[in-house]
Amino acid sequence: MIKSAQHFLNRHVKTRAALLLSLPLGWMIVIYLGALFALFLTSIWKIDTFTSDVIREFTLENFTDVFTDRAYFNVTIRTLMVAISVTLICAVIAIPMAFYMARIAKPSNRPILVALVLTPLWASYLVKVYAWRTMFYPESGFLQWLISPLGGKSPGFGMIAVIIGLTYLWLPYMVLPIYAGMEKLPSSVLDASADLGAKPGRTFREVVMPITWPTIMAGSVFTFSLSMGDYITVQILGGTFQMLGNVVYQNFSLNLPFAAAVSLIPVIIMMIYLAGIRKTGALNNL
């Protein structure tokens, strides 16, 4: 029986391809797109206001609630600001780091440097965020100890703490794609630039940056999307500060359809973002 199946598949190439692809494609459609669709579907349902049970009747009330309440517009803007700040800071730190790792450090040391960039990822997310929490304690934290002799004051919990925490968490995701891109950079173009009289700064700006731009964009997809959706770091480091993820977290237990409507905001923002950077070729560098 197995033999005959083999013969059949040998002769029918298209059937074979379809069978091979059906599993991963099925996964993609059912698990990923299916979940997004379920999210959308939930957002147009009602709830029983007393028991919080979902009632499967059509309503647009969740969307009018999201779009007419100024609070949710503000929280969207704040979330965007955090995601953009985290992405920019990550890029500013990661570009020179990756350049050093890929072009200046001895080739034999490069694997060690890559491993060092990866080490934070070996520790649990929560451990790292709680470590930052102890550093940010307004009176007894490490930052206060560090800054107070200079006459400063620890920022305490809030937006700044969230930005610093998220930058720390997502930095490796920015460094690695840029490193990969810079490693592929042919030495000949750098040499040519130098031969034609460009100083190192100009070579970096006009040769290295344009070529590695897609990899920076690729890294930004990670840092931006991970920051958009985060709520745990915000809970731990944010004080009274909140982001979109926290709105979803606060509402999903009592008003699932409303939480679903809110969670479509980052989905839409990410779609716009991905469409915008598609042209740079970043998606080929993920």
Question: Which residues are near another protein by CB under 8 A?
Answer: 47-53, 65, 69-72, 74-75, 133-134, 137-141, 156-157, 235-236, 239-240, 242, 246-247, 250-255, 258
Characterize 241-263 residue by residue with b for buried, 16 or more Cβ atoms within 10 angstroms of its Cβ, and e for exposed. bbbbbbbbbebbeebbbbbbbbb
Reading phi first (left if > 0) and then psi (alpha if -120 to 50, else beta), residue 32 is in: alpha
Beta carbon nearer to another protein, 75 or 101: 75
Beta carbon nearer to another protein, 134 or 148: 134
How far from the centroid of its chain's Cα atoms is residue 162's Cα? 14
Reading phi first (left if > 0) and then psi (alpha if -120 to 50, else beta), residue 53 is in: beta
Smallest distance from the beta carbon of 196 to another protein, in angstroms? 55
Contact 191, 256 (CB under 8 A): no
Smallest distance from the beta carbon of 252 to another protein, in angstroms? 7
How far from the centroid of its chain's Cα atoms is residue 205's Cα? 26
Beta carbon nearer to another protein, 50 or 58: 50
> What's the rounded Cα separation, in Å, for the pair 90 and 171?
6
Beta carbon nearer to another protein, 2 or 275: 2
Smallest distance from the beta carbon of 243 to another protein, in angstroms? 9
Smallest distance from the beta carbon of 19 to another protein, in angstroms? 22
Smallest distance from the beta carbon of 263 to another protein, in angstroms? 13
Beta carbon nearer to another protein, 65 or 183: 65
